[in-house]
Structure 1
Amino acid sequence: MRQIKACLFDLDGVIVDTAKYHYIAWKELASNLGFEFTEEDNERLKGVSRMTSLNILLEIGGITLSDEEKHRLAEKKNENYRTFILKMQPDEILDGAKEFLQELKAKGIKIALGSASKNAMTILERLELTELFEAIIDGTKVTEAKPNPEVFLKGAEALNVDPSECVVFEDAEAGVEAALAGNMKCVGIGSPVVLGKANLVIDGLHQMTYEKLMELN
């Protein structure tokens, strides 16, 4: 069995909770279009790209738009969302995330980000975490959305490690499926019911240690 050499992290729901900001921005967009967008509806947007999210939102509202109009709305939503993330502070890092990243770095484990977010760099800079990542693969560098493993395979390639030597940390079912499809181990963060396919499911990175990581070997 191959030794674990690298960890790849999703961003939203794993290192930071930007879901609330996404939800407010999507809810506002739906309201402007004349329908209600609930927290339950928002669950369907977890881990998927901006345009796919917009298509789900429009489907909920029973609205059909041209591609041009869709792009305009997606941009509007992103502008709203960015007003929130540009005010983010390092104290918004989820419990235990920074400590675990620092522990991995101290133990010589390579670290990459694998996120669908096109705002990942902005968020990492606001949280003062950029220097902990050796590679950042975000929505600007991939064409395929999870559960396609592209984002994680590119992360492994950027770190110069074999996919089988990587462990992915994910909070979305599509992300867990992407990790497994890429021949990587996966730690799910959240509900065992939703993330049951992962090799290990925890509540958050505060429950993770280097020793626990090595047990996945």
Structure 2
Amino acid sequence: MLKGLIFDLDGVLTNSARFHLTAWNNLAKELGINLTSEQLDSLRGISRMDSLNLILKYGGQENKYSEKEKEQFAAEKNKKFLEQVETMTPKDILPGISELLADAKKQNLKMDIASASKNAPRILKKLGIMDEFDGIVDPNTLHHGKPDPEIYEKAQELLGFKTDEVISFEDAAAGVQSIKAAGQFAVGIGDKNVLKGADYVVPTTADLKLSKIEQVFNQK
């Protein structure tokens, strides 16, 4: 029986993912690294330091910088990202999400956030939906990033439910892998070929209908 919903943030509730990717792309260029669109896309859904290390790997610069220098790069990227976050309003909630959250509330489903972003609380406040959620996984408590299942296991633990009582939402392949490794039902938002590991895939958030998702969930 469905009791809870777990959401990634960037690219699922709002398109703050574009701010992340722009900030990372600009940092990469400053380091003399030109990322392909595929390489840039691979940064979706993974933690700040994992993203930076991947960029350095793409540029053949894995061993060029100290940990302190890497932390400075990550802080610089985050500063640029937060400048963009400050411009966000409830209008930046993706299509279909407000209706999905309202339908979940009507069914008394609990909801929480499983995002690698340390800025999740700030973003949710800017969007005006902070009070919709029963909890947010603190990325600082995690030992492993997506696609490891830890973040979704913690999100489920926060809600106090079993694996077959929750549905989790993601727009990134690494996130879907994380959900499935945690033993949960995965809803993917985006390209069905990229998100082929998900149990149910829709092209955009506007296509998310709780009744339809529950129908597929109950058949599993």
TM norm structure 1: 0.94
Deviation at 1:182, TM superposition (A): 1.0
Deviation at 1:205, TM superposition (A): 2.9
Which residue does 2:81 correspond to in 1?
A: 81
Q: Distance in 1 between matches of 2:144 and 2:98?
A: 28
Select between 51-60 and 34-43 the one with higher mean Cα deviation.
34-43
Give 3-state SS (helix, strand or coil) of 2:139's partner: coil
**8 A contact 2:134–2:159 mirrored in 1:** yes
**Aligned residue runs from structure 1 range 12-161, under 5 A:** 12-63=10-61, 64-161=64-161
Deviation at 1:38, TM superposition (A): 4.0
**Aligned residue runs from structure 1 range 188-203, under 5 A:** 188-203=188-203
RMSD: 1.3
Select between 83-92 and 29-38 the one with higher mean Cα deviation.
29-38
**8 A contact 1:5–1:110 mirrored in 2:** yes
Q: Which runs of 5+ in 2 are unaligned?
A: none
What's the CA shift string for 1:140-167, capped at 9, x where partnerless? 3322111111111111111111122111
Whichever residue aligns with residue 75 of structure 1, its letter is: A
**8 A contact 1:92–1:127 mirrored in 2:** yes
Q: Which runs of 5+ in 1 are unaligned?
A: none
Give 3-state SS (helix, strand or coil) of 2:136's partner: strand
**8 A contact 1:9–1:112 mirrored in 2:** yes
What's the CA shift string for 1:1-38, capped at 9, x where partnerless? xx111110111111111122112211221222233234
Q: Distance in 1 between matches of 2:26 and 2:205?
A: 31
Give 3-state SS (helix, strand or coil) of 1:8's partner: strand
What's the CA shift string for 1:46-97, capped at 9, x where partnerless? 1111111111111222222111111111111111111111221111111111
Q: Distance in 1 between matches of 2:121 and 2:101?
A: 17
Q: Distance in 2 between matches of 1:67 and 1:26?
A: 18
Q: Distance in 1 between matches of 2:157 and 2:13?
A: 22
Whichever residue aligns with residue 152 of structure 1, its letter is: Y
**8 A contact 1:11–1:115 mirrored in 2:** yes
Deviation at 1:174, TM superposition (A): 1.3
**8 A contact 1:100–1:208 mirrored in 2:** yes
Select between 141-150 and 109-118 the one with higher mean Cα deviation.
141-150
Q: Distance in 1 between matches of 2:91 and 2:45?
A: 23
Whichever residue aligns with residue 103 of structure 1, its letter is: D
Give 3-state SS (helix, strand or coil) of 1:140's partner: helix
Q: Distance in 1 between matches of 2:161 and 2:210?
A: 18
**8 A contact 1:16–1:93 mirrored in 2:** yes
**8 A contact 1:113–1:138 mirrored in 2:** no
**8 A contact 1:101–1:132 mirrored in 2:** yes
Deviation at 1:138, TM superposition (A): 3.9
TM norm structure 2: 0.93
Give 3-state SS (helix, strand or coil) of 1:187's partner: strand
Cα distance change on mapping 1:138 and 1:16 into 2, 3 Å: farther
Query: What is the aligned-residue identity percentage?
Result: 38
Give 3-state SS (helix, strand or coil) of 2:168's partner: strand
